Structure 1
Amino acid sequence: MTGSIDYGNLMHRAMRGLIQEVLGRIAKEGLPGAHHFFITFDTMHPDVEIADWLSDRYPGEMTVVIQHWFDDLNVTNEGFTITLNFGDNPETLYIPYDAIKTFVDPSVEFGLRFETEEHAEDEAEPVEEAPMQEMVEPEDDEPGDRQEAEVVSLDKFRK
């Protein structure tokens, strides 16, 4: 056996499998309790399928919220299709797991962040990472009621 174990890519694949399993359950059973998701994805990924007006409005990346209303959630091994409402305009999106940059469920303070190889190579020197925290303020809460969502960075596993 030559080379080395690519733990970074193995972790990314495992975490994308977790997203697939969670979305698969939601497609069958609906969102339980207060669970909801913020999913940020690369709109320029070659396999992303969104309306032209959305890609024009969000060049580079876009965050969608799966919470109160969504329809036709179909989960596959490569990605998922979902219909979401954009200002009373339902649009169907296809998001491959490889295009996902962050996946956050603020109701349970859970989050994943995927770093791209280009981003990792842009850094001139390795940086000691502290645990990452992201503040999320749901629209329904009072201004002072903030929830913390832990974001897991997988860069420290890269060589």
Structure 2
Amino acid sequence: MAKDELGYDRIVERQLRGVAREVLLQVGSKGLPGDHHFYITFRTDYPGVSIGPTLKAQFPKEITIVLQHQFWGLEVTDEAFAVTLSFSGKHERLHVPFDALVSFTDPSVKFGLQFELKNQQVELQPADKPAPGAAKDEAPTALPKKSETKPAETNGGGDAKPATIIALDNFRKKH
């Protein structure tokens, strides 16, 4: 089998991260439309991630944030996004390079993306617990291990409709 000298994996990965970037750009300029909201999981130990020391101590490897009702100052660049969230009643500014993303989901439309991290082995680990005192819409949590993750079987109306999860592995040739 020929070696992929064009780097299709890298190209597809970059484009999938571009979907998250484009969505956050729209939300940053126009706000969240309808029932849309996002669960964004990222590696807290990835180079360029900036979170407060308390959050870093609670979530040394990975955290999932929710962008829904209470977030402020969403700024998006080509390489990263920054947002202020409330954790235990305290506002924290987060800076997250897109390369640190593990997953990006919008449960309102059953859409999700899972990413590979560049130059790092990723093992998803559940967090021990969410930040104490954090409100439901603000609670940082870690997603279950990939093998434990199951797409939602139904939407709010009870109609059977599988979630759309797109992972880079879908585009890789199996050896």
Same fold (TM over 0.5): yes
1:136 Cα deviation from its structure 2 partner:
9.2
Q: Is residue 2:74 matched to residue 1:69?
A: no
Distance 1:146 1:58 in 2: 35
Residue 152 of structure 2, aligned match among 123, 135, 143: 135
Q: Amino acid of the residue matched to residue 151 of structure 1? A: I
Q: Contact 1:37/1:104 (CA < 8 Å) preserved in 2?
A: yes
Query: Tell me, which stretches of 5 or more residues in structure 1 are unaligned?
Result: 121-131
Q: In 1, Cα distance between the equivalents of 2:55 and 2:168? A: 29
Alignment-mate amino acid for residue 72 of structure 2: D
The AA in structure 2 aligned to 1:21 is E
- Asked if 2 retains the 8 angstrom alpha-carbon contact of 1:85 and 1:91, the reply is yes
CA deviation string 1:34-77 (max 9, x = no partner): 00000000000010000011111001110000001100101001
**Structure 2 CA distance for partners of 1:12 and 1:24, relative to 1, 3 Å:** same
Instruction: Specify every segment of 5 or more residues in structure 2 that has no aligned partner in the other structure, as ranges.
Output: 123-148
- Conserved? CA contact 1:106–1:148, under 8 Å: no
- Counterpart selection for 2:164 from 127, 147, 150: 150
CA distance in 2, matches of 1:99, 1:136: 28
SS in 2 for 1:135: coil
More strand by share: 1
Amino acid across the alignment from 2:167? S
- Give, as a single letter, the amino acid of the residue that structure 2 aligns with 1:78: E
Q: Is the 8 A contact 1:133 1:151 kept in 2?
A: no
- The answer (yes or no) to whether the contact 2:101–2:115 under 8 Å persists in 1 is yes
- Say how many residue pairs are matched: 142
> 1:39·1:65 contact (CA, 8 Å) conserved in 2?
yes
Other structure's SS at 2:27 match: helix
Q: Give the corresponding residue for 1:42.
A: 43
The runs of at least 4 consecutive aligned structure 1 residues that moved more than 6 Å come to: 144-147
